Amino acid sequence: MTVLTITDPHSGSTARIAPELGFNCFEFRAIVGSRPVDVLDAAPDFLMGGQRPSGHGIPILFPFPNRIRAGKFSWEGKDYQLPTTDKFGNAIHGLCMDRPWRVIEQRDDLVTGQFQLSVDAPDRQHLWPTDFVIEVDYEIVHNRLRANFRIGNPSNRRLPWGLGTHPYFKLPLGAGSGVNHCLVEVPASRRWELIDCLPTGNLLELGESHDLRDGAYVNTVTLDDVYTDIRCDGPQFDCTIMDEQAGLQVVQTCPPIFREIVAFTPPGRAAVCVEPYTCPTDAINLTARGLDCGWRTLGPGSEFHTWIDITAGPVLA
């Protein structure tokens, strides 16, 4: 198994990426002052294979994040059927998180992976309306991990798409602390009503058990929710994981194209997932119902760029 390591020359912060496992960045060790902070959670035997592809590090979810109901959708007059792999009989998490990617550039502090449907998973090409290319740069700058995304449409038809990531953040952030000292904060004011993990199309106001705007202790909430109506003051917004005992925090910063955040507390793990999505679960079918939910299309020969930052640092007063 090939593993690529990138390093910031100034701080010594490092990240490790597994191109053969969906270009998954499964380790990010940030140096905060002189303290190493293990930001991401992955099983010790992740690199051995056989693990659930969406369960470790940062799975990349494209051309759709989360689920498509029963794996069925229609696009431009044609019906499609995706493999149904979740416990409810739905398609889940796209077409590229469980396949090898090609490495097209590598420096000490940066690595770029590329996945093209027709090249890297030709057996899946019939499952999506068009071919696509997705490129991801992982770059380390001091104590920040930057992911740059480039989405391309090499076909002569419109490409339908949504993008998400599924990062598992390791808790606690410092030695001598515990999950009971860790909070998760998401600046969202509503969430999608879900039945069996699929949106009904209705939006709900946040009750006390789901309101993360002022932070909630991770050990006091059980989350598997699609949040929306993100407050964005300026060109970006932050989601924060804070370890009060350790005096450390991890901030995930996104531009507003990531209009949904899935918050998930994986059972039996000292971790929390804060997942930026450009659209909600089953967005292609919600759009077909006339709901404006962020589902996007890319014209022939066109390209789209976006980014996500993950930064570790001291808790700011």
* Distance in angstroms between the alpha carbons of the first and the last residue of the chain: 43
Report d(CA 123, CA 8) in Å as an integer: 38
Q: Which helix (H) or strand (E) holds 86?
A: none
Phi-psi domain of 108 (left: phi exceeds 0; alpha: psi -120 through 50; beta: other): alpha
Instruction: Tell me how many domains the chain contains.
Output: 1
Q: What is the mean pLDDT of residues 262-273?
A: 97
Tokens representing 51 are 């693990």
Contact by Cβ (8 Å): 294, 194: no
Each residue's pLDDT tens digit, 244-257? 999 999 999 999 99
- Residues contacting residue 81 through CB under 8 Å, at least 6 positions apart: 71, 72, 127
Tokens representing 92 are 């889940």
Q: What is the mean pLDDT of the chain?
A: 96
pLDDT given for residue 317 in this prediction: 61
Whose tokens are 């014209």? That residue is 299
E strands within 20-109?
Answer: 24-32, 35-38, 60-61, 67-68, 72-75, 78-81, 91-92, 102-106
Tokens representing 143 are 């104590």
Whose tokens are 């930052």? That residue is 309
Each residue's pLDDT tens digit, 79-138? 999 999 999 999 999 999 999 999 999 999 999 999 999 999 999 999 999 999 999 999
Phi-psi domain of 209 (left: phi exceeds 0; alpha: psi -120 through 50; beta: other): alpha
pLDDT given for residue 209 in this prediction: 87
Task: Inform me whether the pLDDT recorded for 64 exceeds 90.
Answer: yes
pTM greater than the 0.95 cutoff? yes
Residue 50 pLDDT level (bands cut at 50, 70, 90): confident
3-state helix, strand, coil in the chain (%, to 5): 10, 45, 45
Give the domain CATH number at 194: 2.70.98.10
Domain range for 91 is 4-314
Please report, to the nearest 10 degrees, the dihedral formed by the alpha carbons of residues 26, 227, 187, 264 taken in order. Answer: -40
Closest C-alpha to 183, from 265, 115, 103: 265
The alpha carbon of residue 63 and the mean position of all alpha carbons in its chain are separated, in whole angstroms, by 12
Contact by Cβ (8 Å): 311, 277: no
pLDDT given for residue 233 in this prediction: 83
Residue 10 pLDDT level (bands cut at 50, 70, 90): very high
Cis link prior to 280 (omega < 30° from 0)?
no
Each residue's pLDDT tens digit, 135-154? 999 999 999 999 999 999 99
Cis link prior to 172 (omega < 30° from 0)?
yes
Between strands 102-106 and 110-116, the pairing is: antiparallel
pLDDT given for residue 246 in this prediction: 96
Report d(CA 87, CA 203) in Å as an integer: 24
For 297, half-sphere exposure in the C-beta direction (CA atoms, 13 angstrom radius) is 13
Each residue's pLDDT tens digit, 155-213? 999 999 999 999 999 999 999 999 999 999 999 999 999 999 999 999 999 988 899 99
